[in-house]
């Protein structure tokens, strides 16, 4: 191996280790950390991230990248070329943000998250508003860093989107979302006007400990490896990768909302399958991660909806669920359960929304993020603007900020901008992915009725997971589907299923 390339790989492996050490701190903060530990934890996270950032932006990295750019292309492997491309991208982007600024922002994020947890419980937007105002200021500063020099973005949200979903912009997403909304709104109206299936059984009492037993069993049955992970409770479910042999998931349990835990577990398992399916030789390198927010979300939404809300899935799992909660579900047939979990109805909570209305929730957040960043919406006006949009788009007005603008963690533990588009990108690509899997293996649905997911896992691993970050999103989408990202396969799936 060329000495410059070898040195770069060693340096980026150290940076990756530091980031994953930081992930341990983040995971603990969101699961088991005592309430009063937030201040110290914020300082620790900031320190680790500051060291990683300084290692990444070291002038020596620039010199190594310059030397490596002169290595004859023919002497490099495909992974080497992908590594150098991603290393250059990470260095260029990180170099625009001062280390001291990043550390300061991370410490603010930890404090903001702690306040949000308690503000959400007590329906107190005013408590967290000053922190959100500061987050908006930080987020605009990040946009300004990327607008300096020769680069000029059309919208202050563009640099944030580029960070999460390379190749996408505010303008391109608005076009994509407009096409989707045009067909979704009448579809929602049509389905909402139909007679509603019963759902009373979903809000019966399901004890937390017994839910957790079933959820752990379910995760294992669909392929989650508890020798390489664990599942814990949190306020807002997430997956985190701490290493190739340690990919953790979390869930949220409501004793009177069976769907909350069920679909959170299936969703986060989908994220974990992506990270657990990476090619082993990418471990410890910057290629050893999912490539983008949208591609990652496509894997979780595929498992949550196209698999986890299918009749075939519950043909196998419902008898087990019914036996586990015999006294609660004894009067509910498989058909009633299947129709109940697929009921289409406008709702207030994004994470509990059905798959038809879900993207409307995302578009509301996307538009509000853009307005907060460009200054057309003030933080103090967020609750009323949020409520107005929900009333206009979904015909419902949130009765509280807990069910409104405080429901999602993203703006209270991260930047504002570029946070939500990945969910809809994921929904669209999940349908394209699943179409590809079924075209190659039409027997997948029948296998699911027997609790066999091995063929689907293998197809996803070979076509998506193993590549990690060696392919950019558009390259991966083209390779898997032979076309660009499109809303049409997703809309076709919804119409087949619901119409």
Active site residues: 268
CB of 474 closer than 8 Å to CB of 167 = yes
Q: For residue 133, give both structure tokens.
A: 């105002």
Nearest CA among 274, 297, 281 for reference residue 465:
274
Q: For residue 76, give both structure tokens.
A: 């490099």
∠245-247-250 over CA atoms, to 5°? 150
271 belongs to an annotated ligand binding site: yes
| 243: alpha, beta or left? (left if phi > 0; alpha if psi -120 to 50) | left
Q: Determine phi and psi for 249, rounding to 5 degrees.
A: -125, 160
**Residue labelled with tokens 């008898």:** 319
Helices within 375-487 (DSSP H only): 382-394, 421-440, 444-448, 454-463, 473-481
DSSP state letter for 483: S
Q: Determine phi and psi for 279, rounding to 5 degrees.
A: -60, 130
How far is 142 from 149, CA to CA, in rounded Å? 14
CB of 235 closer than 8 Å to CB of 264 = no
How far is 373 from 368, CA to CA, in rounded Å? 9
CB of 417 closer than 8 Å to CB of 370 = yes
How far is 16 from 26, CA to CA, in rounded Å? 15
Buried b or exposed e, range 315-342, using 16+ CB within 10 angstroms: bbbbeebbebbeebbeebeeebbbebbb
Q: For residue 278, give both structure tokens.
A: 């990476």
Element containing residue 233 per DSSP (H, E): strand 231-233
236 belongs to an annotated ligand binding site: no
267 belongs to an annotated ligand binding site: yes
Element containing residue 240 per DSSP (H, E): strand 239-243
Tell me what percent of the chain is helix, strand and coil, each rounded to the nearest 5: 70, 5, 30
CA dihedral 270, 413, 423, 246 (to 10 degrees): -20
As annotated, the binding site includes 267, 271, 297
């Amino acid at each position: 191996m060329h000495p410059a390339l070898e040195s770069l790989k060693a340096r980026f492996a150290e940076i990756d280790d530091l980031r994953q050490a930081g992930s341990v701190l983040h995971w603990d903060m969101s699961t088991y950390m005592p309430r009063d530990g937030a201040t110290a934890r914020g300082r620790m996270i900031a320190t680790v991230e500051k060291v990683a950032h300084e290692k990444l932006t070291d002038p020596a990295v620039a010199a190594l990248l310059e030397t490596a750019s002169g290595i004859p292309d023919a002497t490099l492997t495909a992974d080497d070329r992908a590594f150098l491309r991603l290393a250059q991208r990470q260095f260029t982007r990180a170099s625009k943000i001062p280390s001291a600024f990043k550390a300061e922002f991370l410490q603010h994020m930890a404090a903001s998250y702690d306040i949000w947890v308690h503000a959400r419980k007590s329906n107190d937007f005013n408590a967290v508003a000053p922190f959100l105002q500061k987050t908006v200021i930080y987020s605009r500063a990040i946009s300004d860093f990327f607008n300096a020099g020769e680069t000029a973005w059309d919208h202050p949200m563009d640099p944030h989107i580029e960070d999460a979903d390379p190749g996408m912009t505010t303008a391109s997403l608005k076009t994509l979302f407009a096409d989707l909304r045009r067909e979704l709104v009448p579809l929602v109206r049509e389905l909402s006007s139909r007679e509603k299936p019963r759902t009373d059984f979903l809000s019966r009492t399901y004890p937390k400990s017994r839910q957790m037993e079933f959820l752990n069993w379910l995760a294992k049955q669909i392929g989650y490896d508890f020798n390489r992970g664990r599942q814990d409770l949190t306020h807002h479910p997430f997956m985190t990768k701490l290493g190739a042999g340690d990919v953790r998931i979390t869930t949220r349990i409501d004793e009177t909302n069976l769907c909350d835990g069920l679909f959170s577990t299936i969703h986060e398992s989908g994220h974990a399958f992506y990270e657990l399916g990476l090619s082993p030789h990418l471990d410890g390198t910057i290629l050893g991660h999912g490539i983008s927010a949208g591609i990652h979300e496509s894997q979780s939404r595929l498992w949550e909806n196209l698999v986890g809300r299918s009749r075939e899935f519950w043909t196998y799992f419902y008898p087990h669920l019914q036996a586990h909660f015999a006294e609660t579900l004894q009067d509910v047939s498989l058909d009633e359960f299947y129709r109940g979990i697929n009921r289409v109805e406008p709702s207030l909570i994004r994470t509990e929304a059905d798959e038809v209305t879900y993207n409307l929730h995302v578009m509301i957040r996307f538009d509000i993020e853009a307005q907060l960043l460009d200054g057309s919406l003030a933080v103090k006006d967020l609750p009323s603007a949020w409520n107005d949009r929900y009333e206009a788009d979904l015909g419902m007005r949130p009765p509280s900020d807990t069910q409104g603008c405080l429901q999602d963690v993203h703006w209270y533990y991260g930047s504002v901008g570029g946070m939500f588009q990945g969910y809809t990108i994921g929904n669209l690509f999940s349908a394209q992915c699943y179409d590809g899997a079924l075209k190659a293996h039409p027997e997948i649905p029948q296998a699911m009725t027997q609790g066999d997911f091995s063929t689907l896992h293998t197809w996803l691993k070979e076509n998506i997971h193993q590549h990690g970050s060696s392919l950019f999103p558009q390259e991966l989408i083209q390779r898997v589907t032979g076309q660009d990202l499109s809303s049409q396969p997703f809309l076709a799936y919804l119409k087949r299923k619901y119409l």
